Structure 1
Amino acid sequence: MNYLKHSLINTRDFLLGTRSYFKNVLLMHGFMLFLLIPLLSSSTKFILRRGQINYISFDNIGEILVHHPWVSLSLLVVLIAIVLAVFFEFTFLLLSVYFIKKQQPIRLMQLLSVTFLQLKKVRIETILFFFFYFFLILPIGGFSFHSDLLSKVKIPAFIVDFIFANRLVIVSSFVLFYVAMIYLGIRVIFALPEMILRDRPFKLAVKESWRLTKKRFFAIIAQFVIITGSTLLLASLGFFLVISAQVLVESFLPDYSLISAVFAMTLLQFILLINIVLSTVAVFYVTIDFMDDEGFLPEIPKWFMMEEHAPTRFSEFMQTTFLVVAIFFGVGVSLYNHNYLTNFNLKTPTTVSHRGVSDSNGVQNSIAALEKTSKEFHPNYIEMDVQLTTDNEFIVYHDFNFKALTGFRQKPEESTLEEALALTVKENGKTARISTFDEYLDVADQLEQPLMVEIKTQKKDVSHLVQTFLDKYEERLIEKGHIIQSLSFQMIEEIKQTAPELKAGYILPFSLVGPPISQADFLTMEYTTLNRNFINAAHSDSKQVYVWTPNDEDTMNRMIFYGVDGIITDQMGLLNKTIRQPDDTITYSDKLVNFVLGVG
């Protein structure tokens, strides 16, 4: 009970102290977001262009390492720079909270100076431990330590779904691993502060943290949970109140709805800013505050030299400069908000039925599901998958092994056509036999149903597959308006070189450096890894963007708000209903909701 009471008191102090660390966090956030990240991103793109490498993905990392040593070395330098930058950010914020806790005034330039001093002391084992430390505290600090540099490092939803789908052993193992990570993360949570504030050697700092947390594990957990939970709750409450107020204005005072929407959007941006500050500094506050409460927060380090206060004239100049910048920033934000709310037109995306199934109405990639979905929902395209057998025939099947859906443990690429056609697929309480692509294509053409054909392969050399596919189907696909896509970058490039009139797209599992340099007509992204910046960049390169697989109305609306050109979904009925909403039904409050959901 004492732990709970103490955590609540600390939470109150943390929230009330926002003003103390607001400036430092904001400056660091601005530096990372507007200077360092664009610099590192531009450097990465420049390195790839000089090495004549068009993209980075899971299927070409090995090739880059083996055949492009200078590119690999340069990318390694960029990676090291990112790690050092995150370590610098971590140290800067830790020291900022530390000096606030010690009630020791420190100017920004001095804080930067002592942070650089700590950076000079970094050893290899410190950086390696920082990696270890960061990913250990990530399960509990994932919404505590917000780093702009690492914001793109996320696991796509389709990978998570694949891991957890009907795999009790894997799920149990993951839960146990997660618990172990939390435990280890808490036990070494004071190691980096000990290394930074006390100049402790690596081994001694870890040993000391292990000793200090022995009887304080649950107390530290409680502080993390309560403080981060309170931060999230307050931000959510703020969003709800602002948007609710806008709804009331639109209902009772419609003539003032635009003015109030601009004001409301400014408030939402301020709440988001406060939330960034709180979520960024929370992990440091918990660590420093707990060390102080338990009596092992070190005194002001010997390496800290107190500087004289800045001259009055200089202070007045800085305050005046800050005020002028704030005024210009406020005017700019207001103009941006007004433009956002008045000049944003939603376009109707192309509709695509994922694997030809809608709301589990049949067996994926089956002719029966194709017919049913096409006649009932009329999608612009039906997405389906083809694979090449050992005797150079194409079958319609998604997985790289027959086992999950048929019980036959063999890969399609290692099977003959006869073996594949003898199998029965079971799904959604229904059964269907595997069909050839010729059979599937005949039915689609009879229905006048365009297809989005995903060509799947596990082989590195795709030239034979591409040539075989184009020899069989190129003219027919172009004539009937079918399009193709693939996870293989090489395949799409070869197809566009050989058959430029055939519309083809590259599927990105994730994006770290933006759209690839490609001849593809469109790019397909998983919805959890997609944002408006990527879409704008792709559009500026004259490429459309398709997204897979939003299956609820909120996510569909968010993707439409982002400006995607097409949506691939398992819920065609819901998608049709969502896109039938006329543009004039989109209110200012709807746009505000989409703004909040779409930030980042």
Structure 2
Amino acid sequence: MHKAGQVMRQAVHNIYVYRFDYVQVFALIRIFQFLLMIPVTSIVLKLMLRVTGFTHITEQNWQSFMTHPFVMIMICLLILLFLLFVYYEMGFLFLMAFHQQRGLRYRFLPLWQQLNRKVVYFFSVQVLFLIVYLALLMPLASFMLPLTLTQSISLPHFLTEEIMSSRAGRLAYAAVASIIVMIGIRSILTLPIFTIQPNISILRSFKQSWRFSKRGLFELVVLLAMLLTGHLLMMLGITVVATFPLYLIERLMPSAALVTAGLTLAFLEMVFVVLFSLLQAMFSQVMVAITYNTLVIGKLSGTTHRKRRYKPLLLISGIVFLVLSMMNINSLEKSVYAPDTKIIAHRGYVAGNVENTISGLVSAANAGADLIEIDIQQTVDGEFVVFHDRTLRRLAGKNGVIANMTLSELKTLTIHQNGFSDKIASLDDCIEIAKALDVALLIELKVHGQETEDVLPKLVEKLRKYKVLDSYYVQSADGQKMTQLKKLVPNLRVGIVYALNIGPMEENVDFIALEESWVTEQLIEELKQHPTDLFVWTLNDDRSLQTFIEKNVSGVITDHPDVARELRTQQSENQYFLQRILNRLRFIF
């Protein structure tokens, strides 16, 4: 622990002494990231869509898209560009830390040239080791360094939710995650070794990191934990102090609350960017110190800097602060109005019930859902049963394919989930109960390939019989069938379900249901222009729900309709700006 304390003190000291160097480096990194990397990625994607003739990429066409020769070349180039960005970003910081800890003078150009000499490895087979290395570190990097390009890279939530829905899945997920984290930590020193040592390959760097971590793993984990804890505590303290004036003004001088909120949010945004940059610098300092055992050297030599002028930095900071403040004031003023996002209960209310059952439907209605989503399939006798899976294995614990069974057979079965049991329901049962509860349904048609030719007319006739054509919604992952349904009944609200989407969407339907990982600001604005409603699925944590409710998307599909309704209520005109600011900070960071 004494050595850990020394490493931390040295890191803080170096960053302070070389603070102007870090300001320049991080400014260049952010400018390069936001003005080049992100636009280039967007341009390349649009170019790939244009060359291949695709309007957008979905789970139905992604294989054809990915196997196109031009797309394969462009993806390889994007991966290479991403690797080079990470290499130069972190490599520069590692080299700076190494020279600072050794008390060596340095200039930016020689550091840049040293990194350039190792770029040859990116055009060899050894680049595969770097890809594996970064993949192992991705979860750690996205948590510790959220302003880097790793921030938005994660597994889609619908995949992890399916895995976590069973005990075996949770155990397997925990085991795999533990193995990945352990391997990632043991290989974490690969990049500093590779960038600092001039004559070492990526593979040798990986092996050295693995050997070193046998004796220094505990110390490394302790230091990383100290870094994260200190960073979070500092963020919390600054947030409390910075928002206290707004807390008072909202209660004593409400007329000044909007401007104060805009200024406060701008200040915190800038401070958080600085703090995350400092975390990245501390990370590089600690990694180098642990790797090369460069403890405190006393008074560092070669650290004298000519006097720097603070005025240009203060001027730029002031301009950024004013611009952010004005943008935030305008944005916060718009957020005063309560959103009208629909709360859609996913497969009914599964807490305390079995999915897609009458009891789940009743509980969802009592929880205040605006719509209740149910899954239907056609049975062998042409009827509609409310059931999600193709087989009975998960919920009934027995063999049996829904498409090969009659509705009467299915309704006699008992299904189980999370310690609860219920009976399988028909579409007629659900519509009758929904009408009695005065709540609308979002019906998802699951296509198994054995439907009758008149499956759509039969569904329409069912909805017409209960006089709900004008109030219900119907969706499916089969876009062709939904287009046919819309032509068949123009007044029925019809939508297409996507688990994946990249690029603009031009569908002749009323709404799009899209998995949250692929929803972008650009897509939200694009669909509003059509206009086409956007339902986002499946949102089960408070942060995701809060994010999309504040964005005022058309609907959020969730297993927790009660929580979603409460969060929507909090966005009413009576909500304090302080709460809105805290929500914004959660969205950004």
TM-score interval, normalised by the smaller of the two chains: 0.7 to 0.9
Structure 2 residue 480 is matched with structure 1 residue 479: no
Q: Does the CA-based 8 Å contact 1:466-1:495 persist in structure 2? A: no
Per-residue CA distance 1:429-458 (angstroms, 9 max, x = gap): 654322332443354456553211112246
Alignment correspondent of 1:149 = 149
Q: SS at the partner of 1:583?
A: coil
Shift of 1:11: 6.2
Paired residues for 1:539-554 under 5 Å: 539-550=528-539
CA distance in 2, matches of 1:137, 1:18: 28
Q: SS at the partner of 2:391?
A: coil
Alignment correspondent of 1:304 = none
Alignment correspondent of 1:301 = none
Q: SS at the partner of 1:215?
A: helix
Alignment correspondent of 2:25 = 24
CA distance in 2, matches of 1:55, 1:542: 18
CA distance in 2, matches of 1:245, 1:563: 29
Paired residues for 1:165-244 under 5 Å: 165-168=165-168, 170-198=169-197, 199-244=199-244
Comparing 83-92 and 191-200, the one that deviates more: 83-92
CA distance in 1, matches of 2:184, 2:420: 47
Q: SS at the partner of 1:546?
A: strand
CA distance in 2, matches of 1:570, 1:54: 32
Which of the numbers 327, 332, 339 marks the counterpart of 1:341? 332
Q: SS at the partner of 1:352?
A: strand
Alignment correspondent of 1:136 = 136
Structure 2 residue 40 is matched with structure 1 residue 39: yes
Alignment correspondent of 2:425 = 435
Q: SS at the partner of 1:49?
A: helix
Alignment correspondent of 1:352 = 344
Paired residues for 1:59-208 under 5 Å: 59-65=60-66, 68-104=68-104, 111-146=111-146, 148-168=148-168, 170-198=169-197, 199-208=199-208
Which of the numbers 552, 563, 570 marks the counterpart of 2:552? 563
Q: Does the CA-based 8 Å contact 2:539-2:556 persist in structure 1? A: yes
Structure 2 residue 513 is matched with structure 1 residue 524: yes
Paired residue type of 1:33:
F
CA distance in 1, matches of 2:392, 2:327: 53
Per-residue CA distance 1:253-277 (angstroms, 9 max, x = gap): 4454334323311221122212331
CA distance in 2, matches of 1:152, 1:454: 29
**CA separation of 1:414/1:348 partners in 2, compared to 1, >3 Å: closer, same or farther?**
same
CA distance in 2, matches of 1:470, 1:120: 59
Q: Does the CA-based 8 Å contact 1:444-1:451 persist in structure 2? A: yes
CA distance in 2, matches of 1:279, 1:416: 61
Q: Does the CA-based 8 Å contact 2:469-2:491 persist in structure 1? A: no
Gap runs ≥5 in structure 2: 298-304
CA distance in 2, matches of 1:148, 1:493: 41
Structure 2 residue 252 is matched with structure 1 residue 263: no
Shift of 1:30: 2.8
Shift of 1:229: 2.3
Shift of 1:18: 8.3
CA distance in 1, matches of 2:537, 2:357: 20
CA distance in 1, matches of 2:412, 2:254: 65
**CA separation of 1:348/1:358 partners in 2, compared to 1, >3 Å: closer, same or farther?**
farther
CA distance in 1, matches of 2:76, 2:484: 30
Q: Does the CA-based 8 Å contact 1:550-1:567 persist in structure 2? A: yes
Alignment correspondent of 2:494 = 504
Shift of 1:396: 0.7
Paired residue type of 1:393:
E
Gap runs ≥5 in structure 1: 298-308
Shift of 1:142: 3.7
Comparing 145-154 and 31-40, the one that deviates more: 145-154
Q: SS at the partner of 2:131?
A: helix
Paired residue type of 2:190:
A
Per-residue CA distance 1:97-139 (angstroms, 9 max, x = gap): 4444455555556655544443344243332111111122345
Comparing 198-207 and 322-331, the one that deviates more: 322-331
Q: How high is the TM-score relative to the length of structure 1?
A: 0.83
CA distance in 1, matches of 2:477, 2:280: 36
CA distance in 2, matches of 1:522, 1:492: 11
Per-residue CA distance 1:521-552 (angstroms, 9 max, x = gap): 32334557656555334434533222344457
Q: Does the CA-based 8 Å contact 2:164-2:173 persist in structure 1? A: no
**CA separation of 1:271/1:70 partners in 2, compared to 1, >3 Å: closer, same or farther?**
same
Q: Does the CA-based 8 Å contact 1:92-1:111 persist in structure 2? A: yes
Shift of 1:9: 3.3
CA distance in 1, matches of 2:390, 2:95: 51
Alignment correspondent of 2:249 = 249
Shift of 1:590: 1.8
Alignment correspondent of 1:454 = 444
Alignment correspondent of 1:5 = 5
Shift of 1:231: 1.5
Shift of 1:392: 4.0
CA distance in 2, matches of 1:116, 1:38: 24
Shift of 1:350: 1.7
Structure 2 residue 584 is matched with structure 1 residue 595: yes
Comparing 131-140 and 420-429, the one that deviates more: 420-429
Alignment correspondent of 1:363 = 354
Shift of 1:291: 2.6
Q: Does the CA-based 8 Å contact 2:550-2:571 persist in structure 1? A: no
Shift of 1:488: 4.4
Q: Does the CA-based 8 Å contact 1:562-1:598 persist in structure 2? A: no
Alignment correspondent of 1:306 = none
**CA separation of 1:331/1:465 partners in 2, compared to 1, >3 Å: closer, same or farther?**
farther
Q: SS at the partner of 2:340?
A: coil
Shift of 1:162: 2.6
Shift of 1:222: 1.2
Q: How high is the TM-score relative to the length of structure 2?
A: 0.84
Q: CA RMSD in A?
A: 3.7
Q: Does the CA-based 8 Å contact 1:389-1:412 persist in structure 2? A: yes
Q: Does the CA-based 8 Å contact 1:452-1:483 persist in structure 2? A: yes
Paired residue type of 1:271:
V
Q: SS at the partner of 1:409?
A: coil
CA distance in 1, matches of 2:550, 2:503: 19
Q: Does the CA-based 8 Å contact 1:514-1:537 persist in structure 2? A: no
Paired residue type of 1:48:
L
CA distance in 2, matches of 1:171, 1:430: 19
Q: Does the CA-based 8 Å contact 1:7-1:226 persist in structure 2? A: no
Q: SS at the partner of 1:568?
A: strand
**CA separation of 1:189/1:231 partners in 2, compared to 1, >3 Å: closer, same or farther?**
same
Paired residue type of 1:351:
I
Per-residue CA distance 1:359-388 (angstroms, 9 max, x = gap): 43x4322234435644x4564321110123
CA distance in 2, matches of 1:401, 1:18: 63
CA distance in 1, matches of 2:249, 2:568: 26
Paired residue type of 1:521:
D
CA distance in 2, matches of 1:282, 1:492: 53
Shift of 1:240: 2.9
